[in-house]
A = this chain, B = another copy of it.
Amino acid sequence: MIAMTHKHNFSAGPCILPQSVFEKAAEAVRDFKGKGLSILEISHRSTDFVEVMENARSLVRRLLDVPASHEVLFLQGGASLGFHIAALNFMKINGKGGYVHTGTWAGKAIEEGRKVGEAVVVASSEDDDFRYIPTDFEVPDDLDYLHITTNNTIRGTQFKSPPRTSVPLIADMSSDIFSKPVDVSKYDLIYAGAQKNLGPAGATLYIVRKDALGGTGRDLPSMLDLRKHIEKDSMYNTPPVFSVYVSMLNLEWLEAQGGVEEMEKRNRAKADLLYSELDANDLFEGTVVVEDRSVMNATFRLKDESLAQRFGRLAEEAGISGIKGHRSVGGYRASMYNALSLESVEVLVGAMKALRE
């Protein structure tokens, strides 16, 4: 059922999902489970949708091996609201949160932390335009938490392992969750906008250690209180029904493919192929330090900008979509999320090679 014209989609997000997921999602918009109703018009309190929500939450549990100490929630607002929710739920009154500053999104998390209380920048790679991941730093033990952004979608850097710390760890994993196994027990809170490896924009995943909540002394607004959402089984109010449904379909696909272990293998193979070409092709250069390169988002540029038009044409002819770098940094960015095939990367590498000819 794949259209002959379907593009090689390297978009950074909202981004590619498996074609089979799009097909099933389209069918459910027409008629959900042969019920004579669209998925868009059923009550979120119906047995059918409660099953979808529970199935989606269980899939997250199974795929990431979430321990019983942690709860899984599908909320709204994206990671941008997550910055505020993280600080509200974890920063004590008169306490402070620690942050590793690795680029745009980490910067926004810090900014929102400062609206809640004291946000301390424990380490930063701002001195080199966020081209690397800081590793050599001390985490003061009076912090309420340490916050990291595991993968920096815009800059193309990625933590290969979380920093060692004695304080609770919080991670915005929006752009690399489900791309590889993760030891959830190391984190008190993981949050992630759906629109990379999880599902369509509009849902936001939270994985939170239950007994870490409720200790800030704050009386939280209901919609920003993770305990309230846990109490209500992630249905405190009408959830983003379609985004949760498509996330469920995508996680079913992921499980059938062999889970996050298999994704890690495939993602490494794709990244290796692209970065090898980048290092071999003297027309291009990568924009971040080699050891911190992201497996999800490869950022690079042409050494000679005058070739841009020709490369653009080659890419377009090959059916490549979405490789323009983020407006704040320029150049190119190839996002290689789970649903992107090795063949798509081969096509991109082909265009890069063709430019040399």
Contacts and interface: CB of A to CB of B under 8 A. Distances in A.
A202 B11 contact: no
A47 to B, nearest CB: 12
B321 A40 contact: no
A112 interface: yes
A328 to B, nearest CB: 12
A236 B112 CA distance: 14
B16 A41 contact: yes
Interface string A38-50: 1011111100000
A30 interface: yes
A83 B236 CA distance: 14
Interface in A23-38: 23, 25-27, 29-31, 34-38
A30 B36 contact: no
Contacts of A23: 30
A241 B34 CA distance: 26
Oligomer copy total: 2
Given A78-B76, A112-B221, A37 B6 contact: yes
B77 A200 contact: no
B40 A30 contact: no
Interface in A183-212: 193, 195, 200-203
Contact of A84 (B76, B223, B236): B223
Interface string A52-66: 000000000000000
Q: Majority SS of interface residues in chain A?
A: loop
A159 interface: no
A36 B84 contact: no
Contact of A202 (B37, B80, B242): B242
A222 interface: yes
A237 interface: yes
A330 interface: no
A74 to B, nearest CB: 11
Nearest to A194: B238
Contacts of A158: none
Contacts of A22: 29-30, 38, 40-41
B246 A40 contact: yes
A14 B76 contact: no
Given A84-B224, A223-B81, A43 B322 contact: yes
Interface of A: 3, 5-7, 9, 11-17, 22-23, 25-27, 29-31, 34-38, 40-45, 76-81, 83-84, 108, 111-112, 115-116, 193, 195, 200-203, 219-224, 236-243, 246, 319, 321-322, 327
16 contacts: A3-B31, A9-B41, A14-B41, A14-B241, A26-B27, A76-B78, A76-B81, A77-B81, A78-B223, A78-B237, A84-B222, A84-B224, A111-B222, A193-B238, A200-B241, A201-B241
Given A201-B238, A202-B243, A242-B242, 6 more contacts: A12-B43, A22-B38, A78-B223, A115-B221, A201-B241, A240-B243
Q: Which 3 A/B pairs are nearest by Cβ-Cβ distance?
A: A202-B240, A80-B237, A5-B36
